[in-house]
Amino acid sequence: MGQKAVKMVNQSQDMQLVAGFNPNITDLNPQTYGLKENVKIYNDFADIKVKADIWIDFSIPSAVFENTKFAIQRGIRPVIGTSGMSEDQMNELKKLADDEKLGGIIASNFGLSAVLMMKFAKVAAKYFAESEIVEKHHEDKIDAPSGTALNTARLIYEARGHDQKQHSSKDPLNTRGGDYHGTKIHALRLPGFVADEEVIFGGIGETLTISQSTTDRESFMTGVKLAIHEVMKSNHLVIGLEKII
Ligand SMILES: NC(=O)C1=CN([C@@H]2O[C@H](COP(=O)(O)OP(=O)(O)OC[C@H]3O[C@@H](n4cnc5c(N)ncnc54)[C@H](OP(=O)(O)O)[C@@H]3O)[C@@H](O)[C@H]2O)C=CC1
Ligand SMILES: O=C(O)C1=N[C@H](C(=O)O)C[C@H](O)C1
């Protein structure tokens, strides 16, 4: 995702890549990573002196909170795609940015099909009392459930305003999936997938399935670009791209 973001920035007339950050690297020569020689590469927060408008983060779940906090404290607007933050962490970052009147976004998914799927699921949740989510990702994804699945379950719960009814099952193999306020989430990790999700609503004698499929990660860059332009005009942090499109 980092490479896709760099390509998108380099191809945009109104953007310029000024720096990159990864604490795991020792070689700070930008040309090692195919970047222009004027791009600064950092491996330590303490060394970051460069001025920037936007911090794009596609890193790892264990690092994203501290990275975003650093960006906000330095007045750099965060555009965060990394999954795995808790609700408390996201709310803390929102408060920090809002107090600084700094625009920003934390988006579980920058793909338009996924954002629309979440919007449609929110509408359907008002009409169907029960639903389950199946998310399917590539085998290298380190967190589960996906940020998108968790955000979908959160939107469904908010739309209903109460926990979903539980059905008791004898389930020695624990096959009923994870649970977010009663909405079951099933996470598949298999080669062949990029990122797919189905939200299945069940009612008396009928089901409704809302599904989206990501076949190329290039698709996420439409939303990243849109988010960058939006946060430059904003003075608060939003959680979810569905809030701004
Ligand atoms: N919101 C969205 O639309 C999307 C979100 N994602 C999310 O983005 C995240 C990244 O995904 P993906 O690119 O596939 O993951 P990768 O594992 O391919 O890349 C993560 C990168 O982060 C680097 N890294 C590790 N620690 C830090 C740190 N402390 N600060 C900065 N960088 C660090 C890693 O470096 P090293 O290899 O040296 O450890 C690696 O280069 C995931 O959480 C994923 O779920 C993915 C797609 C779309
Ligand atoms: O790791 C991924 O690949 C993806 N992560 C995000 C998530 O956790 O929802 C977005 C998308 O599903 C791809």
In tens, the pLDDT along 41-83 reads 999 999 999 999 999 999 999 999 999 999 999 999 999 999 9
| Under 8 Å between Cβ of 92 and 124 | no
Q: What is the pLDDT of residue 55?
A: 98
Centre of ligand 2 from the C-alpha of residue 109, in Å: 7
Centre of ligand 1 from the C-alpha of residue 1, in Å: 7
Distance, CA of 220 to CA of 226 (rounded, Å): 10
| Under 8 Å between Cβ of 228 and 220 | no
Q: What is the pLDDT of residue 150?
A: 97
Ligand 1: atom nearest CA of 83 is: 43
Compute φ and ψ for 30, nearest 5 degrees: -60, -30
Centre of ligand 1 from the C-alpha of residue 245, in Å: 24
Distance, CA of 165 to CA of 163 (rounded, Å): 7
The answer to whether residue 169 scores a pLDDT higher than 90 is: no
Q: Which two tokens mark 144?
A: 């589960």
User: Which of 109, 136, 140, 143 is the pocket-test mutation for ligand 2 (most atoms within 8 Å of CB)?
Assistant: 109
Q: What is the dihedral of CA 7, 11, 14, 16, to 10 degrees?
A: 40
Closest CA to 130 of 148, 150, 157: 157
What DSSP letter does each residue of 114-142 carry, written as one string?
Answer: HHHHHHHHHHHTTT-SEEEEEEEE-TT--
What's the complex ipTM?
0.99
Tell me if 58 CB under 6 Å of ligand 1.
yes
Residue nearest to atom 34 of ligand 1 (CA): 59
Half-sphere exposure of 10 (CA within 13 A, CB side): 11
In tens, the pLDDT along 153-167 reads 999 999 999 999 999
Reduced to 3 states (helix: H, G, I; strand: E, B; else coil), residue 6 is helix
Q: What is the average pLDDT value for the chain, to the nearest integer?
A: 97
Distance, CA of 217 to CA of 233 (rounded, Å): 26
Q: What is the pLDDT of residue 37?
A: 96
**pTM for this predicted structure:** 0.96
| Cis ω for the linkage preceding 145 (within 30 of 0) | yes
Please report the domains of the chain, with CATH numbers, ordered by start residue. 2-106+218-243 (3.40.50.720), 112-214 (3.30.360.10)
Distance, CA of 202 to CA of 209 (rounded, Å): 9
In tens, the pLDDT along 210-236 reads 999 999 999 999 999 999 999 999 999
Positions annotated as catalytic residues are 137, 141
* Alpha-carbon dihedral sign for residues 148, 184, 138, 219: negative
